[in-house]
Amino acid sequence: MTGALDARHGGREIAWEVHGLRYAGLAWGEPDAPGILALHGWLDNAASFAQLAPLLEGYYVVAPDLSGHGLSDHRAAHATYQIWDDLPELERIASELGWQRFKLIGHSRGAVIATLLASALPERVERLVLLDGVAPEPVAPGDFPQQLARAMSDKAQIAKRERRVYPQAELAMAAREKRGLSAAAARVITERSLQTVAGGVTWRTDARLHGASAVKMTHEQSNAVLRALTMPTCLLVAGDSDADAQRWMTERAREQIPDLQVHTIAGGHHFHLEAGVQDAAQRINVFMNE
């Protein structure tokens, strides 16, 4: 299951065939150590944990490329990328690893998926760490038709869109830098997200991930998920996040999650891949061993 060491990020390649999909990923540490499942954010991949995972002491950290990301398969043409679509495969991956109980980390969109997984399987998730993400902004029930219309429109537009080809990989990395990543972090993420084509390189990432979801959770559904997080939970918030977004995230978490601690980490949204990684790792190590 685990393959060769990749010197770019210190992780070992790993892969699974689950429900007709190939999931690729990276693993750090010894397989007989306690397990941590790490879920990356939107348009990222398993290499998102290249800086953090080696600092998590005494654990076997496994980070899959979620479907449509990195080296993992894209979903079928008729399928979707709702935040709950990966849950059955993630449960099977944990089971194939032999983990009846495990610890769970998620960043951004991966944090949202982690809350869903932990709320559905609280008996299996020992501790939960959320990196600058908790739950998606709810949609009012009355806005459901408009959300459907937006999803249909996005799918039609994305199907017509031609993939951008970059003559050099460095230009793709620069595009990620413009979205707020440091040059080093952009390189780590981008290298696993590119494929070679005629004329240069383009993104491996499934373009459908840019489209709106057909269904979004209501406020009541989202709160029910957070209240079901009965395991100890730690939320690490980026200090450079938008103040209103940070307040909304932390207030909702404090109101709904029963056993929660919150810490602010200096840096931006990808603090776990940038200068804030040492502080984040220290906080996580203390939390995991409490």
Tell me which residues are annotated as active site: 108
Asked if 101 and 124 touch (Cβ cutoff 8 Å), the reply is yes
Tokens of 2: 């685990």
Taking alpha carbons only, the member of 44, 3, 45, 43 closest to residue 27 is 3
